[in-house]
Structure 1
């Protein structure tokens, strides 16, 4: 049965009429044409589909559209402030913290969620916070370095 579901998406209030059981990942990609959020495993294990829901990193492939009613959802497309990249995005660029790029949006969104909840992480905190986001290319050390720098930049800018 179709329901009207209203939530905030990348800073704008939106409404959709659909079954509450539709998977958020597919709603973002097909209904809103936000294809930066990637399909990886479809089971919530790899992290390629990570978005922020109320500032918390969440696997969109394991979340229904009904679960985001009344909440705020941010995708990789909504992270930057106009042309100014979010500090995590900028750190990923500065550290060349990617290779093929498929996991990158999920890595960035997970890192933002981590730093939202832990603004002064140790390297070990970052390793533990990021261990469930998979990268097959082996850019992990550059990703960790980028997150450390982003944490400092966010602390210094008040982000």
Structure 2
């Protein structure tokens, strides 16, 4: 899986109008900055978008303070196919006890997107994992080390 573009809205410390990150042509990158300025949040955006997991936070905790919903969109290449995953979460309203999650999966053509979203989030999640070729645990223990949990690589 090779990330191509990442867009976030109201995700953790990122609010509205965040420029899309374009990874095309980048082979190695270093995220540098002061503590608490969103470096880990970008990595959480990737894992949450693809697997619905982000450093032990609840789904509603991922929504920026003061916002009612968040959205992360990731375009990536896998096995010579361009795909897009869009995951969003809305806070519980007055009439709902739980927030609402949405997950969309698309294959990108030269000028269009073909939806391959399943009938349920679980079905769509399985399609994403099949396309990427790994689940969340395999990813964080092979290609990605979570902050504060680097020892899991040697313990698994």
What TM-score do you get using the length of structure 1 for normalisation?
Answer: 0.26
The higher-RCO structure (CA 8 Å, 6+ apart) is 1
Bigger share in strand: 2
What TM-score do you get using the length of structure 2 for normalisation?
Answer: 0.27
